[in-house]
């Protein structure tokens, strides 16, 4: 049996918990400066149509009385660890999706704690008591159904979908809830007459594969019946990233190169702090019209910002179309710990000194020489 546990409006809920004057008010985390982007918002703010990923300026227009607060990622991470500690009391088989979300396989704990629903109730009560936060829980025999159950239970609820109730639970849900059905796929599904998950279930595998291809057709056929063979387990790969949204669009390559160097220094430092290396660098580039591209390049396993920056800079030079840039980001892929990590070399003396200075005085205190900033 699988639980999907998801903290409700996590960042915003933390801000409301820490500052009681924000309770019941529309709170937006992120998007505070002119060109910022909303990271998340409270349920009160969602009532005005504000959503994650929305431009801060648009959020202000929708709700002028909203309270905008700067994100406190280290604080959120600390609280997330408290919640993770609660999860580990009930099972060692946990797949962490994000700071606020995880799958738990509790099959081995059912007898000990009196069943999956009892575990769900215990987790919700412990998180409320120890972290002061509401957490929604979905319980089912698969990850797919458990995830949808937690979504349906929000806010601050719990839904258990027994195996014999999976089809009645899934049938009326919007077809967009199917895993892997993005906006383009949803438009095509709607155009072909598929509005609810039940519409997919009532369609033969042969027709689904004829319409959507072998892989997508099979996925739609299986998931619409609640069949999901994915197991709960530690994610094999994660990423470290740093991105910046600019107060003014960046319009020249020299300024972009300087920013990429700063971003590369940040992710390299975090790699060294974890004793890790990465063999893949990813660039995120968002233009002023919000068109966004991501491109990646393999590199020799490294924690050196110069190697990471070189890859990011080459990707930028290759794929930048000359347009005004609103956001740049650099990410590196990090795998699970392995025997190879035993042989990660110690950071150089230069890196140790640079890291110590930045730990004490901030990321911008010192770094490699870069270009000046020029904006449109």
Residue 68, strand partner residues: 28
Strand locations in the chain (E): 2-7, 27-30, 38-41, 67-69, 94-98, 101-105, 135-140, 158-160, 237-250, 278-287, 292-302, 325-335
Integer angstrom CA distances of residue 216 from 17, 165, 182, 185, 205: 43, 24, 12, 10, 10
Measured CA to CA, the distance from residue 60 to residue 45 in angstroms comes to: 10
N-to-C CA span, the chain: 55
- In the residue annotation, 244 being an active-site residue is answered as no
- Helix%, strand%, coil% for the chain, nearest 5: 45, 25, 30
| Residue indicated by tokens 């959120």 | 76
- The answer to whether the CB of 240 falls within 8 A of the CB of 267 is yes
CA-closest candidate to residue 146, choices 187, 85, 101, 213: 101
Residues in the chain: 376
CA dihedral 34, 99, 9, 178 (to 10 degrees): 100
Measured CA to CA, the distance from residue 272 to residue 352 in angstroms comes to: 9
350 CB-near residues (< 8 Å, 6+ apart):
none
Measured CA to CA, the distance from residue 327 to residue 245 in angstroms comes to: 4
**DSSP assigned state of 147:** H
Measured CA to CA, the distance from residue 3 to residue 149 in angstroms comes to: 9
Bridge-based pairing state of the strands 27-30 and 67-69:
parallel
Catalytically annotated residue among 101, 166, 265, 305? 101
Residue 360 — left, alpha, or beta (φ > 0 → left; ψ -120 to 50 → alpha)? alpha
Residues annotated catalytic, as ranges: 101
């Amino acid at each position: 049996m699988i639980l999907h546990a998801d903290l409700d409006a996590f960042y915003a809920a933390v801000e409301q918990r820490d500052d009681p004057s924000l309770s019941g008010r529309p709170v937006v985390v992120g998007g505070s400066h002119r060109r910022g982007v909303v990271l998340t918002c409270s349920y009160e703010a969602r009532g005005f149509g504000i959503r994650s990923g929305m431009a801060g300026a648009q959020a202000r227009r929708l709700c002028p009385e909203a309270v905008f607060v700067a994100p406190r990622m280290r604080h959120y991470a600390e609280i997330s660890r408290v919640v993770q500690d609660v999860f580990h009391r009930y099972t060692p088989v946990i797949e962490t999706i994000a700071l606020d979300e995880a799958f738990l396989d509790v099959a081995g704990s059912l007898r000990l704690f009196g069943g999956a629903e009892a575990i769900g109730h215990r987790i919700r009560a412990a998180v409320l008591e120890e972290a002061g936060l509401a957490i929604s829980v979905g319980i089912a025999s698969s990850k797919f159904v458990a995830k949808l159950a937690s979504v349906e239970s929000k806010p601050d609820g719990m839904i258990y979908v027994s195996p014999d109730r999976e089809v009645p639970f899934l049938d009326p849900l919007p077809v967009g809830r199917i895993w892997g059905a993005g906006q383009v796929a949803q438009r095509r599904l709607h155009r072909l007459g598929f509005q609810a998950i039940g519409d997919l279930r009532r369609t033969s595998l042969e027709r689904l594969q004829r319409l959507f291809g072998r892989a997508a057709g099979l996925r739609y056929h299986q998931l619409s019946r609640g069949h999901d063979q994915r197991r709960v387990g530690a994610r094999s790969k994660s990423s470290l990233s740093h991105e910046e949204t600019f107060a003014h669009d960046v319009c020249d390559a020299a300024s972009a190169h300087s920013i990429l160097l700063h971003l590369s220094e940040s992710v390299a430092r975090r790699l060294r702090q974890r004793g890790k290396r990465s063999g893949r660098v990813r660039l995120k580039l968002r233009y002023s019209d919000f068109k966004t591209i991501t491109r990646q390049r393999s590199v020799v396993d490294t924690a050196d910002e110069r190697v990471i920056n070189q890859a990011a800079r080459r990707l930028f030079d290759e794929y930048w179309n000359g347009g005004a840039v609103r956001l740049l980001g650099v990410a590196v892929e990090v795998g699970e710990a392995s025997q190879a990590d035993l042989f990660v070399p110690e950071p150089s003396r230069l890196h140790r000194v640079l890291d110590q200075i930045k730990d004490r005085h901030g990321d911008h205190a010192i770094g490699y020489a870069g270009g000046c900033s020029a904006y449109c």
